[in-house]
Amino acid sequence: MKILAISLLRLGDCIMHGPAIKALKQRYNDCEVDLLVNEQFLFLESMMTDVDRFIGFPRKELQQLSGKYESQIFEPVIMLENFVRNLGDRYDIVVNLTQNRLSGYLCSLINANEKIGLCLDSDGKPSFGNAWFRYLNEESSDKPLIHFTDIFARGCGAKKVAEIELKRTKSGIEEATAALKGLSTKVLAIQGFTSDERKNWGDENFAKSIQYFLRIHSEFSVVLLAAPSEEGVVRRFAKECQSVGVEARPIVCSLDGALSILDNCEILLTGDTSIKHLASATKCKIVELSVGPSVPQKTGAYSEGAIIVAPRMSCSPCAHSGACSEVKFNCHESIPPEAISMILSQVVLNNRLGLKDIANEYSDLFRIFWTQLSEMDIWTLTEIGKNGLAEEIQQKVRVSGLKLMLDGSHLKFISSCGSEGESIERSLLHKDEANSYDELKSMLSGLEDELFGEEEILTHLKFELGRVFRAGFEGKMLSEFDEEMSLALRKSRLLQRVPVTSKATNLKGTSKSDQFLVLRRTQNFISSAGNLNELEKKLVRSIKNKVLER
Amino acid sequence: MVEISFSRTEKPILKYDGKLLCSGRDPELEARRWIEKIEVRQSNIMVIGVGCGYHLKSLVDRFENINVIGIDSSNVITGMKKNIWKDVLPKRIQLIDRCELKKELVKRNLRSCLRHGFQVEVFRPAISSRLLDFSELYEFLLGRTEEGLKFLLWLMEDYGSVLLDKSGKPALRITKSDPVSIVDVRKMAKNSALAEEKKLILNIMGELVR
């Protein structure tokens, strides 16, 4: 069997797609997986596992030809046609791991028996292949629950979490050996720049945090990592470090070189960069600064025990495209360098309680998150800080409930809520916070009550919707239902996070057939919310039972 | 008026209205240098400016799998053929009088070789004194004018059969002063009966230029 996976975003995204490709390999025995990437990332061939062949998509060339006045207007069209023709009919399955319009159209264009992921027909009508990819499309909240890597991997059939794996190359190892020569065995790596200035915390901030960190941990050497295109920037950064008395070695290296360097580093401080995803494939500890438009819940470091620091600001994270709405980058300023140096120090010392103290001290400025990968078989992000237990339970129940629903557990006669609840209980980072099991039990009961309250709202909505259907969409009844629905959407936290785009709105004034369609969608929406509610209740009960067993 | 002369390297060269159509020092070196700047992307290359022909000959000699179509005014073509190539046209080279390009027979001949695409290049030394004369032709061949777009759509039957109306005009009126772009073709295709596959290709192009 031959599979083509499409990964046409940036470097970091390609690396994040590793677990999805692994899932394909495990799901379809003896399959061959080709990976379509933007041509400039073909060098990943030497690093990514599970891919049999890399194919370069000539995006830059196509864009240049399309935008160049001197090129004949059909030249890029023919080039693209030839490219697609060359892909031929050799694939049984095409998997779109990119989720944008371009890849959606391309996915439709390539001949294959089965398509997984976003496919768009020429009118832009989508199909998704399964619930995970549909969720990816419909998830629009500012507090997403599931990491992109998990969505893609589960969408490709993964049942267990898989870490990001990358191959080391001989040249990368040699590059690392030469670059780290003469440094102490303990190395702090910094990669502070991305192409989006909103994501760059700033040279001065980085330099100061290193300065403070080295006062306590003088045994560390510091390296500043940069790609060849960033050489000028990293030299400037090294000078900034020098100006505060910090000797930091700038290292301009290839990606495989960077991977081997990270293998030899104890800790990495970085922003939302591809280096962060590389570090996820090593034992190097990660401290990620999630400023600007970075959404840690979607693209945070996909590893166990990484620390993510995110500003506590109303505008954070900002929109993916567009400029900062403020006069200056307030989110950068809300994270003081001394706090980062303390966080680095606590991470080096493996002191989670110390991190909790820092989180509490700076709770008005930023939040500290801890990532977990293995316990619940899905990546989770837990905020460290006071009163964290109730929030952590709630968060993990939500993630788990959604995961079970998207996997179709609610349709199975025996769901896996019992074992899932046990996993949640095992994974609780703030378990020690509860003074007694009674306290923990009462927290769970509170959550259960909340879910019963949600159930009442849903039952009421179902009843009202049934009346509207029975009355043949009678005008007054429609208006009443519209109001009920709007009220429920404001009141119910569950309804707010069910990933469906079309909710019952604008019922008035539309034709009967349109009203029917909207109401059917609303019915599905309420039904999804009901399934989610049911799963979450089961999970809470399972955690409670586990607690009672003690 | 085309006159013959010789370069310093003793190669026959042409003058048009008293101006040289290629280098008077070393036309072959000039041709080689011109080729270095060409990025061959298609198997058919239309070259505006036939000049003394050295650059066309070098192009087919350098790239094995390409066909070259030289376009110029008829007297330059005749002069060049007679005086330099001695009426023996090198293989894979066609010469077309620019005035004949819009003639049905010439167009039909071109269709079979250009339907799989072509790129347009300009040999400036040959047309430097006639730049204005050729600028319209250049835009036409690139498809940047309504007439040019019509010509290209006509060449590419799969698109043209749907996107040209009965009178042979593009189905979308191009009224703006901006040059025609692929976005205009995409607009034309939107509600047309164009094959789904072609529409998808145009949609991808639209996404790439967004």
> How much is the average pLDDT of A105-117?
95
Summarised one tens digit per residue, pLDDT across range A175-227 is 999 999 999 889 999 998 887 888 889 899 999 999 999 999 999 999 999 99
Whether A66 and B196 lie within 8 Å, measured CB to CB:
no
- CA–CA gap between residue A137 and residue A152 (Å, rounded): 12
Closest CA to A445 of A399, A403, A393: A393
pLDDT of amino acid A330: 82
Q: What is the pLDDT of residue A32?
A: 97
DSSP character at residue A386? T
pLDDT of residue A501: 45
Q: Please, what is the Cα angle at A503 between A497 and A508, to 5 degrees?
A: 155
* Closest in A70, A71, A80 to B201, CB measured: A80
User: Among candidates A197, A433, A365, which has minimal Cα distance to A292?
Assistant: A197
pLDDT at A500: 53
DSSP string for residues in A262-294:
HHT-SEEEESSSHHHHHHTTSS-EEEEE--TT-
Which of A39, A77, A79, A123 is the best mutation test for B, with the most CBs of B within 10 A? Answer: A77
* pLDDT tier, A370 (very low <50, low <70, confident <90, very high otherwise): very high
Q: Are the beta carbons of A334 and A317 closer than 8 angstroms?
A: no
Whether B191 shows a pLDDT value over 60: the answer reads yes
**Comparing A244 with A486, which gets the higher pLDDT?**
A244
Query: From CA B86, how far away is CA B78, in angstroms rounded?
Result: 10
Is there a contact between A158 and A19 (Cβ–Cβ < 8 Å)? yes
Which structure tokens are listed for A365?
Answer: 């400025």
- Which pairs with CB-CB distance under 8 Å and at least 24 residues apart come from A82-88? A83/A57, A83/A58, A84/A109, A84/A110, A84/B201, A87/A4, A87/A55
Contacts of A124 in chain B (CB under 8 A): 203
Q: CB of A22 within 8 A of CB of A49?
A: yes
pTM given for the model: 0.89
Task: Identify residue A129 by its one-letter amino acid code.
Answer: G
Contact between A519 and A398 under an 8 Å Cβ cutoff? The reply is no
Residue A286 gets the label, from left (phi > 0), alpha (psi -120 to 50) or beta, of beta
Q: Is B87 left (phi over 0), alpha (psi -120 to 50) or beta?
A: left
Does any CB of chain A come closer than 8 Å to the CB of residue B135? no
Determine the Cα angle at A545 with ends A540 and A550, to 5°.
130
Mutating which of B208, B209, B210 best tests the A interface, going by the most A Cβ atoms within 10 A? B208
Would the pLDDT of A36 be above 60? yes
pLDDT in tens, A510-545: 677 777 888 888 888 889 899 999 999 999 999 988
Instruction: Choose the most confident range, by mean pLDDT, from A89-103, A416-430, B75-89.
Output: A89-103
Q: Are B39 and B94 in contact (CB under 8 A)?
A: no
Write phi, then psi, for B128 (nearest 5 degrees): -55, -35
Report the length, in residues, of chain B: 210
Instruction: Show the beta-strand stretches assigned E in A24-117.
Output: 32-38, 53-57, 93-96, 114-116
User: Phi then psi for A303, rounded to 5 degrees?
Assistant: -155, 175
Candidates A62, A72, A121; nearest CB to B141: A72
Q: How far apart are CA A267 and CA A209, in angstroms?
A: 14
Among A74, A122, A124, whose Cβ lies nearest the Cβ of B196? Answer: A122
The torsion defined by the Cα of B76, B78, B84 and B90, in degrees rounded to 10, comes to 110
Tokens of A207: 């330099």
Whether the predicted pLDDT of A503 surpasses 60: no
Q: Which comes out higher in pLDDT, residue B156 or A165? A: A165
The encoded tokens of residue A506 equal 């604008």
Q: In this predicted model, what pLDDT tens digit does every residue of A312-356 receive, in sequence order?
A: 887 778 777 777 777 778 888 889 999 999 999 999 999 988 999
DSSP-derived letter for residue A48 is B
The complex scores an ipTM of 0.89
| Residue A67, token pair as written in the block | 């935008």
CA distance A66 to chain B (A): 7
- Chain A segment 29-48 residues within 8 A of B by beta carbon are none
Distances (CA, A) of A7 to A34, A44, A77, A111, A238: 10, 12, 21, 17, 34
Distances (CA, A) of A122 to A99, A127, A369, B200, B202: 16, 12, 42, 5, 9
- Whether residue A89 lies within 8 A of chain B, CB to CB, comes out as no
pLDDT (tens digit per residue) in A131-179: 999 999 887 666 788 999 999 999 999 988 999 999 999 999 999 999 9
Residues of B whose CB is below 8 A from A65: 41
> What whole-number distance in Å separates Cα of residue B16 and Cα of residue B73?
11
pLDDT of residue A339: 95
How confident is the prediction for chain A on average, in pLDDT?
90
Structural contact between residues B80 and B13, judged by C-beta atoms closer than 8 angstroms: no
pLDDT value at A395 more than 50? yes
Predicted local distance difference test score (pLDDT) of residue A506: 56
Tens-place pLDDT, residues B55-79? 999 999 999 999 999 999 988 888 8
Asked if the model's pLDDT at residue A438 lies above 90, the reply is: no
Q: Backbone phi, then psi, for B21, in 5-degree steps?
A: -95, 0
Q: How far apart are the first and last CA of chain A?
A: 50
Query: Mind giving me the DSSP string for A338-374?
Result: HHHHHHHHHHHTT-HHHHHHHHHHTTTTEEEEEEE-S
Q: b/e per residue, A166-202, with b = 16+ CB within 10 A? A: bebbeebbebbeebbeeeeeebbbbbbbbeeebbbbb
| Average per-residue pLDDT for chain B | 88
The DSSP line for A322-346 is S--SSSS-HHHHTS-HHHHHHHHHH
**Mean pLDDT for the stretch of residues B112-119:** 83
Contact between residue A146 and residue A378 where contact means Cβ atoms under 8 Å apart: yes
Backbone angles phi, psi at B18, to 5 degrees: 85, 0
pLDDT for the residue A355:
94
| Of the candidates B141, B118, B126, B120, the residue with the CA atom closest to the CA atom of residue B49 | B126
A249-299 residue pLDDT tens: 999 999 999 999 999 999 999 999 999 999 999 999 999 999 888 889 999
10 Å Cβ neighbour count for A82? 12
Cα separation, A225 vs A209, whole angstroms: 16
- The tens digit of pLDDT for each residue in A372-385 reads 998 889 999 999 98
Give the pLDDT confidence score for residue A197 in this predicted structure: 82
* Residue A404 pLDDT exceeds 60: yes
The amino acid at residue A47 is M
Two tokens at A335? 């994270």
- Largest Cα–Cα separation, chain B: 61
Mean pLDDT of B81-109: 85
More confident residue, A433 or B170: B170
Gap between the Cα atoms of B114 and B107, Å rounded = 10
Using CB atoms, which residue from B120, B159, B204 is nearest to A72? B120
Cis omega (within 30 of 0) on the bond before A311?
no
Q: What is the pLDDT of residue A550?
A: 67
What is the pLDDT at residue A264? 97
Task: Check residue B175 and give its pLDDT.
Answer: 65
Chain B residue numbers with beta carbons less than 8 Å from the beta carbon of A83 are: none
Residue labelled with tokens 């008005």: A364
Closest chain A residue to B180, measured at CA: A73
Other CB atoms within 10 A of residue A381 CB: 21
Task: Indicate the residue of A70, A73, A122 with minimum beta-carbon distance to B182.
Answer: A73
